[in-house]
Amino acid sequence: MKYQRGSAGISNAHGEPRPGRLMDEVRRCLRVKHYSLRTEQAYTGWIRRFILASGKRHPKDMGAPEVERFLSALAVHGRVAASTQNQALSALLFLYREVLAVDLPWLDNVVRAKRPQRVPSVLSREEVHRLLAAMEGRPWLLASLLYGTGMRLMECLRLRVKDVDFARNEITVREGKGGKDRHTVLPRTLLEPLQREIERARLIHANDLAQGFGATWLPFALARKYPGAPREFGWQYVFPSVQRSCDPRDGIVRRHHIDDSVLARAIKRARTQAAIDKPVSAHTLRHSFATHLLEGGYDIRTVQELLGHKDVSTTMIYTHVLNKGGRGVLSPLDR
């Protein structure tokens, strides 16, 4: 596809913007619909790969054969997981439906890869104890919160000071998966360590204010509705980053929350020191939280609410990994 220069910039023969301008429009549509920054990065990455794999042709000049060829190449040659292939498909569907406003009948006929139903990896109570014993400092507190509350990793990292209620032993999770808020338990054993961490964040925030910074990022239009809120301590992250950085969304220098790679590296080291052979990630601690609650006799609806699952069938998977063997059946060999 050849691009020509017009009054509105570089475009193709149909008047569509070149890929560079197209990606700007993709980002704009994603932000209008309040998609997360990680989703924005993933979607723009897949759309860019699709354009490059198709010889830099404009998406409006392509259709079902190109999309199916791209997805097939991912599965056959790239050997990606079904979830990865489906993410690429979701990015392309968003491109055609939301950005280009193209209503093509073949979009509904594109088949999504079937995701295999896998049983999650779960640590025993003793393994959790060994893992946490091999950690210290902020990574230990983060890992303890994940296991003690059942929060997802980013829910924990994005935790704001105002959402920790020490009087009620409760944490409010804001904008969880699906944009839902929920409450979860605050472990009593973490009250003092978490209070110390918040005091540490208070000192960092005071220092930022003294240097002319201290305004945190607020979702949606809250910063315009409440101009003073970004500098209030209650809106600051419980786990602030060591350094300030430039926000890729608006170019403003702010102090973001701690990066997830810090905890990932700490868990990897602790797993080795604790001699745990199972794969362990931050999400493994969430799986262990749910499983151990069910083992403790709590009903599945309560666990569903604490985890923030939309459907109880999602929570039902933890009944398969309870410490009772396969589906709780006593083997005839043990009788």
Per annotation, catalytic residue among 271, 286, 287, 292: 286
56, 50 contact by CB (below 8 A): no
Q: Which two tokens stand for residue 233?
A: 């301590």
Q: Tell me if residue 283 is catalytic.
A: yes
Q: Tell me if residue 174 is catalytic.
A: no
95, 87 contact by CB (below 8 A): no
Would you state the torsion angle of the CA atoms of residues 269, 273, 279, 282, taken in this order, to the nearest 10 degrees? Answer: -50
Q: Tell me if residue 286 is catalytic.
A: yes
Residues sharing a CB contact under 8 Å with residue 278, sequence separation 6 or more, in sequence order: 121, 123, 127, 284
Cα(113)–Cα(122) distance, integer angstroms: 26
Per annotation, catalytic residue among 283, 301, 310, 324: 283
Per annotation, catalytic residue among 57, 130, 162, 177: 177
Q: Tell me if residue 3 is catalytic.
A: no
Question: Which H/E stretch holds residue 264?
Answer: helix 260-273
Tokens 């023969």 -> residue: 13
Residues sharing a CB contact under 8 Å with residue 174, sequence separation 6 or more, in sequence order: 158, 160, 163, 181
Q: Tell me if residue 335 is catalytic.
A: no
Q: Tell me if residue 14 is catalytic.
A: no
Per annotation, catalytic residue among 27, 58, 152, 287: 152
Q: Which residues are known to be catalytic?
A: 152, 177, 283, 286, 309, 318
